[in-house]
Structure 1
């Protein structure tokens, strides 16, 4: 089932290159902050489509209409994520304070235990926040449903914690691998061009610089938007496994 989710998300995310380009433009101007909420809002629309759809369905990519609504949805998602992610941060701070009051091996041991617990808390918090966002989308955008912890836990219980964690960790691995491979391929291509150009008397530094620019543009306008849709679609479809 997990592989079916990935397969669907891979195909779904590549349905429209124009959509990737538009998200890339938002990313380019993300320093203005507002585009960040628009990107997040669009990903929420992807999740909303997924939680009301089926795996390997014919769901279309959401439109870029009603930007005010998209901005508000993005703002809601960010607000939902903050309390969840604060939990592992607080846990880490507490262990840091305790460790700071001790010395030697005991201090190091407490800090190591704290880091391990924090890591587990981060995974749980990320999973709960993502399922909370999906639960909010499934319940017509009801903000309170994103924090209905007992209902969200029931959703995860129904899907299976191991299934959820495996899917989530798989998304992290896929994201890292795709980003690394694309970057590496472009780097190798321009490294070959640079070495060949240098042998012919061309400016190798300029070629390498162009490679860096191309790599950045590909990441911003293709890889980044593609992976954001891929992850949102996958999480949304994971939610549907309990329906």
Structure 2
């Protein structure tokens, strides 16, 4: 089932390259801060489509319409993310404050314990956060459903904690592999061009710079948006395993 989710999401994310470029342009202006909410809002639409779809179905990519609604959805997503991450952050601060008030081995031991507990809480918070967004989408965008902890835990129990964690680990690995492979291919090509130019007596620095610029452009306008949609689609389909 998990492999089916990956296969569906990988194919789904490549349905419309124009969409990837549009997301890339929005990402390019993310330094203005506000476009970030459009990106998170679009990813939420991808989740919503997946939650109401099926694996290996014919779901289309969401349209770029109702930008105000997309922006509002993006704000809600960010609030949910911050809300869940606040818990491990506060726990970490408590351990840090207590360990700072004592000295010696006890201080170090307490800080190590605090870091381990925080790490576990971060994993749980991320699972709750992602399933919370799916739960919100499954209930017509009802914001309170994103924090319906008992209901969300029941969803995770139905899907299986192992399946959830395994899926997220797989998403991290696939994301890293795709990013590294694309970067390696681009730099490999321009390294060959650069070495060929150097053999012919030309200065290869310009070729290497061009390779770096092209790699950055592809990462921003193609690979980044593709992986963003891939992750959002996978999360939404994971939620449907309990339906």
Do both share a fold (TM > 0.5)? yes
Deviation (angstroms), 1:35: 1.2
Give the direction of change, closer, same or farther, for the CA distance of 1:190–1:119 in structure 2 (3 Å limit).
same
Matched residue, 1:138:
138
CA-based RMSD of the aligned residues comes to 1.0
Matched residue, 1:207:
207
| Whole-angstrom CA distance in 2 between matches of 1:188 and 1:87 | 44
Most deviating of 105-114 and 40-49 = 105-114
| Corresponding residue SS for 1:36 | helix
| Structure 1 residue ranges (4+ consecutive) displaced by more than 4 angstroms after TM superposition | none
Matched residue, 1:126:
126
Matched residue, 1:80:
80
Matched residue, 2:156:
156
Matched residue, 2:167:
167
| Corresponding residue SS for 1:15 | coil
| Corresponding residue SS for 1:241 | helix
Aligned residues between the structures: 243
Q: Is residue 186 of structure 2 the alignment partner of residue 193 of structure 1?
A: no
| Whole-angstrom CA distance in 2 between matches of 1:119 and 1:206 | 44
| Whole-angstrom CA distance in 2 between matches of 1:196 and 1:4 | 43
Deviation (angstroms), 1:197: 1.1
Q: Which runs of 5+ in 2 are unaligned?
A: none
| Whole-angstrom CA distance in 2 between matches of 1:67 and 1:143 | 19
Matched residue, 2:50:
50
CA offsets per residue over residues 116-154 of structure 1, 9 Å max, x none? Answer: 111111111111011000000000000010011111011
Deviation (angstroms), 1:102: 2.7
| Whole-angstrom CA distance in 2 between matches of 1:201 and 1:99 | 61
Give the direction of change, closer, same or farther, for the CA distance of 1:15–1:109 in structure 2 (3 Å limit).
same
Please give the TM-score of this superposition, normalised by the length of structure 2: 0.97
Please give the TM-score of this superposition, normalised by the length of structure 1: 0.97
Deviation (angstroms), 1:105: 2.7
| Corresponding residue SS for 2:3 | helix
CA offsets per residue over residues 98-126 of structure 1, 9 Å max, x none? Answer: 22223333222222222111111111111
Matched residue, 2:115:
115
Matched residue, 1:216:
216
Matched residue, 1:31:
31
Q: Which runs of 5+ in 1 are unaligned?
A: none
| Whole-angstrom CA distance in 2 between matches of 1:204 and 1:99 | 53
Matched residue, 2:17:
17
Deviation (angstroms), 1:11: 0.4
